[in-house]
Amino acid sequence: MAQVPLLMPQLGESIAEATIVKILIKEGDLIEADKDVIEVETNKAVMAISAPCSGTLVQIDAEEGQSYPVGAILGTIEVSEEEARKRGLDPEGDDAAAPQKTSRRQKAKAPARVSGPQQVEPTVKGLPVPAHAGGASYLSPRMKARMTELGLHAADLSAIAGSGASGRVTIEDLEKFLEDIERNRITPASSMRVAVADAMRRSATRPLATVVLPVRLDNMLAHRKTCAPHKAGPALYALRALAMALSENSAPAGRLIGDRIIHPRSIDIGFAVEAEDGVLVPVIRNADQFSLADLIERYKRLVNLARERRLPVGDMGGSIATVTNYGVFGLTIATPIPLPEQTILLGMGVGQVVPSWDAAKKKFVPVTEAAFTLSFDHRVLDGGAAGRLLNRVGALLNSPTEL
C-alpha cells in the first residue's frame, strides 16, 4: 500500500503557520476524504484541516499546542491501491512497499520524521502593505538587535525617554524599562490581540484623516419595519450603501503603491465583528451585485461564524473597505483606523433623536440622526473626495428602497 502525508495546508494568503488546537482522530482510525481531522488556530481564526484522501491513519506527528509551518507533515495516511492510482502514485513502486519495510526505510532516510515535524514559534506575519514601525528613534544597531531578540517594535518603546546623545535610547534604558515593567501584573496577549495590534500599528504609519456627516435614519428605520421578519441591521444598510457608492466610482477605494493607484477589481466589503479579545472582519464579496434582501442571510451567517472564530479562509481578507458600527456601544462618534490593505473605513454612531428645522411646517420636529464617519488614507483621498463619498452613502441610506 502507498502512504500519503497529511500536510499543514496554506490557510490563507498571509498565513505562514498555525497552532494545533485539537486532533480529532487517532492512529489506526479509518478516515474519509474531506473529513475534518485536525483543528488549528491561526492568528485570527480556528479552522479545520480535512483529510486529503480516504485511508487509515498510521501515524500522527503533530502535537496539540504546537505551531507548525505551512507544508509541515502532521501525519501519514495509508491508502489502498485504487486510491493510490487516483492520486497518481505507483502502488507497485518504491512508494508502496510493504508497510513495515517502508516505514523503516523512510525513517532512515528522513530522521526528521522520528522527532516530529518542524515546529515554529507563533508569529504574526504577512499582512499587506508593510510599513516601518513608528516610535522610539535613534536606535543603534546593537539596540535593534536586542529588540529583535525580544520581539519588540520601536512603537513598544515610545514611552522611553532616551538618556543617550540626542535622545538616543540606549541598551541601559531598555533594560531598565524591562526591569520596571516586570514589577507590574502581566498577562500574555492572545494571538488575535497581537494580530490586531500589528495591523493597527502599521496602519497608523499612514497619514489618516476622518470626515463626519450627520445622517437621518428615519427612512431607514421605517423601511426596516416593512421587512419583518427578515430585517437587515443598520450596519448592513450602511455596507450596502457603501458598496453601491463605490460601484459608481471605485477610485476612493484605490491603494497607493509607490507612485501608482491600484484600483479594486471587485467591490468586496468587510464589516467589523467583535470576537473574543479582538475584532474579526468577515467579507461580503461583490456586495454591489446583490440587493439588501439577498445579503441578509449571508451577513447573519458570517457574523455567527466570526463570533465563533470559525470563519472560512475565503470569507476573510481581500476587502477594499470596512464598515464598523461603533454605535452599538453607545458611542456617538469615533475615528476608527482602516486596515493596512484598505484606504477607507465607514463608521456609524448611535442613533439619537434631535430637533430638525422643518421649513414647510416652520418649526422644529424630532428626527433620528447618527454621525457617520469616513476615515481614509490622506495620500489617496482629500477631504473633498471623502466628503462626496460620505454624502452619497448618506443619500442612499435616505432612499432605502434603492438598496
**3-class SS of residue 213:** strand
Q: Which cell is 262 given? A: 491600484
Instruction: Determine the Cα–Cα distance for residues 27 and 125; give it in Å rounded to an integer.
Output: 33
- How do beta strands 260-262 and 269-271 pair? unpaired
pLDDT > 90? residue 301: yes
What's the mean pLDDT when you consider all of the chain? Answer: 84
Burial of 136 (0-12, 13-18, 19+ CB in 10 A): buried
What's residue 44's pLDDT?
A: 63
Does 46 or 159 have the greater pLDDT score? Answer: 46
Phi, psi of 120 (to 5 degrees): -135, 160
* CB-facing half-sphere around the CA of 184: CA atoms within 13 A: 8
Q: Which of 159-163, 271-275, 398-402 has the lowest mean pLDDT?
A: 159-163
Kindly report, as residue ranges, where domains of CATH 2.40.50.100 are found in the chain.
Answer: 2-113
What's residue 266's pLDDT?
A: 95
The arithmetic mean of pLDDT across residues 32-43, rounded, is 87
Q: How confident is the model at residue 60 (pLDDT cuts 50, 70, 90)?
A: very high
What's residue 132's pLDDT?
A: 32
Instruction: Determine the Cα–Cα distance for residues 158 and 133; give it in Å rounded to an integer.
Output: 11
What is the chain's percent helix, strand, coil content, to nearest 5?
Answer: 35, 25, 40
Which among 309, 311, 320 has a CA at the least distance from the CA of 287?
320
354 neighbors 366 (Cβ within 8 angstroms): yes
**3-class SS of residue 77:** strand
Give the tens place of pLDDT for each residue, 374-391: 999 999 999 999 999 999
Query: pLDDT above 70 covers what percent of the chain?
Result: 85
What's residue 107's pLDDT?
A: 34
The answer regarding whether domain 194-402 maps to CATH 3.30.559.10 reads yes
What's residue 90's pLDDT?
A: 57
Q: Which cell is 88 given? A: 497518481
Instruction: Determine the Cα–Cα distance for residues 57 and 138; give it in Å rounded to an integer.
Output: 55
Q: Which of 71-75, 88-92, 185-189, 261-265 has the lowest mean pLDDT?
A: 88-92
What's residue 151's pLDDT?
A: 82
Kindly report, as residue ranges, where domains of CATH 3.30.559.10 are found in the chain.
Answer: 194-402
Residues 6+ apart with CB under 8 A from 181: none
CATH topology of domain 2-113: OB fold (Dihydrolipoamide Acetyltransferase, E2P) (2.40.50)
The arithmetic mean of pLDDT across residues 110-136, rounded, is 42
Q: What would the 3-class secondary structure string for 308-326 be?
A: CCCCCHHHECCCCEEEEEH
Which among 306, 336, 342, 339 has a CA at the least distance from the CA of 324?
336
Q: Which cell is 332 given? A: 456617538
Residue bearing cell 513502486: 93
Q: Which cell is 153 given? A: 517594535
Instruction: Determine the Cα–Cα distance for residues 365 and 367; give it in Å rounded to an integer.
Output: 6
Give the tens place of pLDDT for each residue, 168-227: 778 888 888 888 888 888 888 888 888 888 888 888 889 999 999 999 999 999 999 998
Instruction: Determine the Cα–Cα distance for residues 288 and 297; give it in Å rounded to an integer.
Output: 16
**3-class SS of residue 278:** strand
Q: How confident is the model at residue 14 (pLDDT cuts 50, 70, 90)?
A: low
Instruction: Determine the Cα–Cα distance for residues 118 and 134; give it in Å rounded to an integer.
Output: 33
* Letter string b/e over residues 351-388, b meaning 16 or more CB atoms within 10 A of that residue's CB: beeeeeeeeeeeeeeebbbbbbbbbbbeebbeeebbee
What's residue 138's pLDDT?
A: 56
Q: For 267-351, where are the E strands, in sequence order? A: 269-271, 273-275, 278-280, 283-284, 321-325, 344-348
